[in-house]
Structure 1
Amino acid sequence: MKFKDRAMSSMQNFARAMFMPVLILPIVGLLIAVANLFTNASLIQDVPFLNNPVTIGFGTILSGCMQPILSNLGLIFAVGVSIGLAKEKKSDAAFISVLTYVVFLNAMNKYMNLRGLLAPADALRGTGQSIILGVQVLEMGAFLGIILGLVVAAVHNRFINTEFKGAFQIYGSARFVFIVMIPVTILLAVVCTHVWPPIQSVISKFGTIIGESGNLGYFLFGASERLLIPVGLHNVLNPMILYTSLGGSAMIDGVLVEGARNITLAELASPNVATLSTAAIFECRGVTKIFGLTGAALAMYQAARPENKQRVKSILVPVVLTSCIAGITEPIEFSFLFVAPVLYVVHAILSGAGLVLANLLGARTIAYNGIIDFILYNVPAGINKTHWLAFLLAGVIMFVVYYVVFYFLITKLNLHTLGREDEGGEMKLYSKKEYKEKQAKEKQAHANAAAPSGKIDAATIVAALGGKDNLLEVDNCFTRLRLKVKDNTKIDQATLKNQTGASGVMIKGQIVQVIYGLKINVVRRAVDEELSK
């Protein structure tokens, strides 16, 4: 494998590993939003039935249970990354990562104490130190978890099958991995004590640059995130901005909070914050997911051939709803990425422009995961705190812009988007036999694409991937089946898309990604069952 392919494979594996903690955190955020519904003082005054100890107590308990997850992201990422990158015995890797995390914290604390580097415990503000799990250490946030997750996974994959004979046999396997990790972790703690402060300074400055760059920074982030989606690396960029100091730092109610989403959630929950800060702009990507892509879908529908519009509508309506309601954009994006790449580049540019527009209009609205986020976070908080009316205005503008730009490019450049495909012989006169065969294939393809969750044709999926022997690794993220294969020339993209309901296939060396959207978990289970036969 070429160096470039190996590097891309490693980055995609890392992105896949980041998926687990990234998937959990939005759920935590939503639960905090639900808790805020029951504890929001102004809302309680306006809705009398919420003004009782039962609902207020429930909201207080729920918020109190969820907030510690956001304040312990290092541990969350350490476990998630180690599980994602472990090739086997993933539960052992997760357990070892927890032990390693505890060892690291205490090793760093003891070393800093010996060197006289610990700041006074009652004056940690601005020192770059904090209390984590009751231990005072350097504030490394999610970066610590990512680093430890990577190290644990590497050591785990190397030594998990190590066995000894005789009296030492009890020290093999996972126990040996932990034994190796002890000196490695202590050394890492010592190194980080000296290396991390300069890195922390650089990260802080980079985050400051993004913040001070204002609209340019928002544009670059919005555009680059979309451009990374085809190769699955957006799961690397997003957590860095949302949960680490790269996305900014702020003191909220006397607590240092790092990461754009963490800042936004903390400000949302704080009674002392009247209006969310610019950190919330990163959450305004919903302006593209809810409005922009809907305009793009309408343009593709209007530009389709008249005889194909009904079929195009049946395809676009569910993917638009998926994007609007849940913020999952891959299904609709992959409907034009491969057939008209220029539209995807334009889409990336417009995504960045959408963040800029939201900022210019003063929106501070949380809508990254679509309408669900919008309703749960912003409506209870009130118009003044999140300025969601400005968000809606930005959305209407982006809907119009997307529609006009997409329709113009599709028709002007004769792009083969849905309903405009050059199918080679589309207009020919079919014999009765040919016509029936064509109808049968289209019916089967449509049935597979819209099949209920219990009727996934896993055998066809596995066969189209080159068979069992061609599959080295099988995993999935929120919308994609992620695979490592022996020979990518055996991948039958046409069958995957036409007969199994895949909306896109990405192949890069040995790494293959098949896009199935929200039914991916059902597809993954079906594939696992097929492979176990």
Structure 2
Amino acid sequence: MKDKIVDGMQVFARAIIVPVLFLPIVGIIIALSSILSNPTIVGSHNSLIYLGKFIASGLWPIMNNLSIVFCVGIAMGMAKEKKAEAALVALFSFLVFLGANNQWLSATGKLVHYKVVSDLYGTGQTVLFGFQVIDMGVFLGMILGITVALVHNKFCNKEFPGAFSFYGNTKFVFIVLVPILLILSIIFSYVWPVIAMGITALTTFINVSGYVGVFLYGFLNRVLIPTGLHHLIWTPFSYSNIGGELAVNGKTYFGAYNIFLAQLSDPSIKVFDPSAKYLQYGMVKVFGLIGVSLAFYKTAKKKNKTKLKAILFPAAATSFLVGITEPLEFTFLFVAPFLWIIHSVLDGIFEAIVVFLGVRTYGAGGIIDFLAYNLPAGIGRTKWPIYIAVGLVELVVYYFVFKFVIEKFNLKTPGREDDEVKLYTKKDYKDKKSKDSKQVGENEKDDLAATIVEALGGKENIETVDNCFSRLRVKITDLDKLDEPTLKITGASGVIKNGNNVQVIYGPKVNSVRNKVDKYLANN
């Protein structure tokens, strides 16, 4: 039962990343548009201010309707096949729920009367696409997305004979979903208010816990990375009322990320609301892991230092620039897990410190994201120079703590192994193929995909393929067929196994790898 629960959480965590991958792009464009719409920056140039507001107006509908984004994205991400059709059915399902729930609230006299939408705040109801419905926030999209995916995976290949053949496959999925959606629209009218009370209690606990709550967030967000379940920590904080709620210009925004963008887009807000917790500081990505890299290099054996540079410096740069930490973190996770606990504790501590100092920044995507989001906001609103100062302190602390622990306990971190540091080059990769007499593909790209697929046990051993920011996430049938050494030859910096779910760490190039694997599986 435990394995099934963990496996289900893995599948959901893998699927929720599908829509989330697009949201930073939306956020960055909104952040940059705030420069044009800020009169303190562009002066009284009305045309520039209008242009900034015009650009932001095209992006805000996405952030304001994350429920349907998650519904479609999760359904598509969890679907094992026919993903495009699963997404379309998810869209239909979302609209069915809205219409049915609105009608049920009206028929039972539960519909709250209002003059403007803002009057509904605190009533437990909201307006989505013109329908007044129970206010479930992004959780509605998540629940419906999961429901659609489960039904889709079970019935998407169901066929009927004769004249009824038209109603088979994904059309039958929708047929099955309709009564389920109608029932859910009734159930949630009564159940969700109780659940909402629980969410409010959790939010209240986090708020009254103050810096302890922030520490726990930072700690869990790092310590759960090996399981891939850290997405279940930061996602609700970023996009639901668990991460805070704030009214800006008469409209209420939920989640740390949305609140940050809302205040950023309003130049009249001179000081960001201190009650909103912007919990994805990402400071460890920009500063902490540089300290880790320096500690690894300092404590490495002299004969290994030259080769170690080729591993550490690109990995540290990737973390610093774009916030992808796995290539570096996984270089020590399995050889020195004790350091992983220290790493998670330090991250929680420094996140709590910046909250204590009143910093209100966003930097989850590394220094590039940090500059794009926080410079337009200005020093007064985010206090980003304090973030930089604390980050430099974090770098030093990480360096000395890691150096001390590594030397004190003689941990076999990179460069301190008994064997010489081994770097796999393109020549090693080709030699490996030649040795095994693998004649596949017509070019190097096909060869890479073929080698990855073979290392995963072959096409018949692969059930699903997805990816997040840095990992190729694969569900396989037989774990015994997994060939980890060959996966590392293809450029993977680590392999995580949890049941039949395998995560192969490729870093920023994971999208390219995923595309090659998908094409190979489709053509072979």
Q: TM-score range by the shorter chain?
A: over 0.9
* SS of corresponding position for 1:421: coil
Are 1:44 and 2:37 counterparts?
no
| TM superposition shift of 1:283 | 4.3
Are 1:506 and 2:496 counterparts?
yes
State the one-letter code of the partner of 1:71. Answer: N
CA distance in 2 between partners of 1:455 and 1:519 (Å)? 16
Are 1:78 and 2:68 counterparts?
no
Report if the CA contact (8 A) 1:358-1:391 is conserved.
yes
Aligned match of 1:482: 473
Are 1:277 and 2:273 counterparts?
yes
Q: 1:277 to 1:470 in 2, by over 3 A?
A: same
Aligned match of 1:444: 427
| TM superposition shift of 1:285 | 2.6
CA distance in 2 between partners of 1:216 and 1:385 (Å)? 24
CA distance in 2 between partners of 1:304 and 1:490 (Å)? 34
Aligned match of 1:167: 163
* SS of corresponding position for 1:298: helix
Report if the CA contact (8 A) 2:333-2:340 is conserved.
yes
CA distance in 2 between partners of 1:313 and 1:275 (Å)? 43
Aligned match of 1:131: 127
What is the TM-score with the length of structure 2 in the denominator?
0.92
| TM superposition shift of 1:52 | 5.6
| TM superposition shift of 1:445 | 4.7
| TM superposition shift of 1:165 | 2.8
Are 1:234 and 2:226 counterparts?
no
Aligned match of 2:515: 525
Larger deviation, residues 471-480 vs 28-37: 471-480
Report if the CA contact (8 A) 1:456-1:523 is conserved.
no
Paired residues, number: 509
Aligned match of 1:460: 451
CA distance in 1 between partners of 2:278 and 2:66 (Å)? 19
What is the TM-score with the length of structure 1 in the denominator?
0.91
Q: 1:470 to 1:169 in 2, by over 3 A?
A: closer
The CA deviation string for residues 160-212 of structure 1, in whole angstroms up to 9 with x for no partner, is 22222333332222222212211111110100000011111110121121122
Q: 1:327 to 1:411 in 2, by over 3 A?
A: same
* SS of corresponding position for 1:368: coil
Question: 398, 402, 405: which one pairs with 1:402?
Answer: 398
Aligned match of 2:349: 353
Q: 1:283 to 1:373 in 2, by over 3 A?
A: farther
Aligned match of 1:430: none
* SS of corresponding position for 1:338: coil
CA distance in 2 between partners of 1:36 and 1:413 (Å)? 50
CA distance in 1 between partners of 2:183 and 2:501 (Å)? 34
CA distance in 2 between partners of 1:278 and 1:157 (Å)? 45
* SS of corresponding position for 1:513: strand
CA distance in 1 between partners of 2:453 and 2:254 (Å)? 43
Query: Which consecutive aligned stretches of 4+ in structure 1 deviate over 4 angstroms post-superposition?
Result: 278-281, 445-448, 452-456
CA distance in 2 between partners of 1:323 and 1:447 (Å)? 29
State the one-letter code of the partner of 2:142. Answer: I
CA distance in 1 between partners of 2:254 and 2:190 (Å)? 21
Aligned match of 2:138: 142
Larger deviation, residues 379-388 vs 460-469: 460-469
Report if the CA contact (8 A) 1:465-1:491 is conserved.
yes
* SS of corresponding position for 2:132: strand
| TM superposition shift of 1:464 | 2.3
* SS of corresponding position for 2:160: coil
The CA deviation string for residues 461-484 of structure 1, in whole angstroms up to 9 with x for no partner, is 223222333323222222111112
CA distance in 1 between partners of 2:429 and 2:507 (Å)? 16
State the one-letter code of the partner of 2:248. Answer: I
CA distance in 1 between partners of 2:365 and 2:406 (Å)? 28
* SS of corresponding position for 1:328: coil
Aligned match of 1:433: none
Aligned match of 2:29: 31
| TM superposition shift of 1:217 | 0.3
Report if the CA contact (8 A) 1:284-1:358 is conserved.
no
Aligned match of 1:14: 12
CA distance in 2 between partners of 1:147 and 1:297 (Å)? 41
Structure 2: gaps spanning 5 or more residues:
432-442
Aligned match of 1:369: 365
CA distance in 1 between partners of 2:200 and 2:444 (Å)? 46
| TM superposition shift of 1:337 | 0.4
State the one-letter code of the partner of 2:458. Answer: G
Larger deviation, residues 125-134 vs 454-463: 454-463
Report if the CA contact (8 A) 2:299-2:406 is conserved.
yes
Report if the CA contact (8 A) 2:214-2:279 is conserved.
no
Aligned match of 1:472: 463
* SS of corresponding position for 1:271: coil
* SS of corresponding position for 1:337: coil
Question: 245, 252, 268: which one pairs with 1:249?
Answer: 245
* SS of corresponding position for 1:377: helix
| TM superposition shift of 1:447 | 9.1
The CA deviation string for residues 313-368 of structure 1, in whole angstroms up to 9 with x for no partner, is 12111111111111111111101101111111111101101111111222111111
* SS of corresponding position for 1:336: coil
Q: 1:457 to 1:213 in 2, by over 3 A?
A: same
Q: 1:389 to 1:227 in 2, by over 3 A?
A: same
Q: 1:476 to 1:456 in 2, by over 3 A?
A: farther
State the one-letter code of the partner of 1:344. Answer: W
* SS of corresponding position for 1:457: helix
| TM superposition shift of 1:487 | 2.1
Report if the CA contact (8 A) 2:278-2:361 is conserved.
no
State the one-letter code of the partner of 1:78. Answer: C
* SS of corresponding position for 1:418: coil
State the one-letter code of the partner of 1:444. Answer: K
Question: 319, 338, 360: which one pairs with 2:334?
Answer: 338
Aligned match of 2:52: 59
The CA deviation string for residues 434-479 of structure 1, in whole angstroms up to 9 with x for no partner, is xxxx99x76735999xxx9958722332232223333232222221
Structure 2 counterparts to residues 210-229 of structure 1, below 5 A: 210-229=206-225
Structure 1: gaps spanning 5 or more residues:
428-437
Report if the CA contact (8 A) 1:264-1:277 is conserved.
no
Aligned match of 1:182: 178
Once the two structures are aligned, what percentage of the paired residues are identical? 46
State the one-letter code of the partner of 2:10. Answer: Q
